[in-house]
Each structure stands twice: as structure tokens, then as C-alpha cells.
Amino acid sequence: MKKLIKCMIILSVAFASQSCDKECEDKIVEITSLENEYGCTDTQYQIQLSLYEQFIIFNNQEDFEAQAEGPCQPEIDFTIYDLVLGKKGLTSGYDSIEYKLIEKCKSGDQELTVTFTLNATMIAPIVTFHALIPKLGIGQTLTVNVIANDLE
């Protein structure tokens, strides 16, 4: 009888921990861009920053205007967005840039993954990447991972 009770307790704990994990799942957060929201073009080359292999999160218009140069200088609605801008040096040309923003279930923090799909051209550009993300909450952190997928 003690063994049966012990087994039932172990099984119920195992089942409870599995159901708790299923209730808490990371979620994909929608993002947008300066092209979509403000009509900017060719931002990969038109926005200039004094950064290299780094990124910055802008949360107000004054900082954005002071640090980002180029023809794309819209009045960004920083009440609903934060702007992530960064620079990446590539080993060859690229076909596309993909962005994916995940909000971690347990911490509420966010992780932005920027993926460059490289091609065979012999140009090795330094590219500006950006994403307009929903305004970060107080104490919420953002991690940015930049990946350059080499040719296969």
C-alpha cells in the first residue's frame, strides 16, 4: 500500500510539472519596420550609425535624431515603439534579412534574432539592420542575436 501511494505521488508530481510547462510557452511578438510604418527605403545602406557589430535601442526621438543619420528621419511614435538599430559586417553579399522577436514566458524578457541569408557575391557589405518593436516595459530586457547563414 505504501508503494502504491508513493507511486501515485511521484506520478502526480511528474504530471503536474509537465502540465505547468505546457501552460507557459514563449510567444512570437509582431514587429514592423521603418519601411512599413514610415515609408523609408533602402534602410540597410541609408541609415548611418557610428556603431560596428553592435546595436542600440532607441526609445525617444531626440536620441534617434542625434545618433542616426541619413534620409530616413521620420517622427517615430515612441509611445508605442522602441527602435532597434545595429550594424553588421558580412563576409559576402546577402539575399535577405529575417527578424523574429520572442517574448520569454517565464521572465517576460524579449529576444530578437536577426538572420542574414548570405549569397555568393564577392561584395562584403556593412549593413544596418533595424526593427520597430513594441515598447519595452519597465525592467524588461531585450537580447539581440545576429546570425549570418553562410552558403551551403
Q: What is the pLDDT of residues 16-52, one digit of tens each?
A: 444 455 689 999 999 999 999 999 999 999 999 998 8
Q: What is the pTM of this model?
A: 0.81
DSSP H or E segment with residue 115: strand 110-118
Is 98 a member of any domain?
A: yes
Is 42 a member of any domain?
A: yes
Is 113 a member of any domain?
A: yes
CA dist 12 and 97 (Å) reads 46
Strand partners, 145: 113
The proportion of the chain whose per-residue pLDDT surpasses 90, expressed as a percent, equals 78
What DSSP character marks residue 107? T
Domain count, the chain: 1
Reported confidence tier of residue 122, pLDDT bands at 50, 70, 90: confident
Host domain of residue 41: 24-149
Is 112 a member of any domain?
A: yes
Is 14 a member of any domain?
A: no
Average pLDDT over residues 5-13: 46
Is 121 a member of any domain?
A: yes
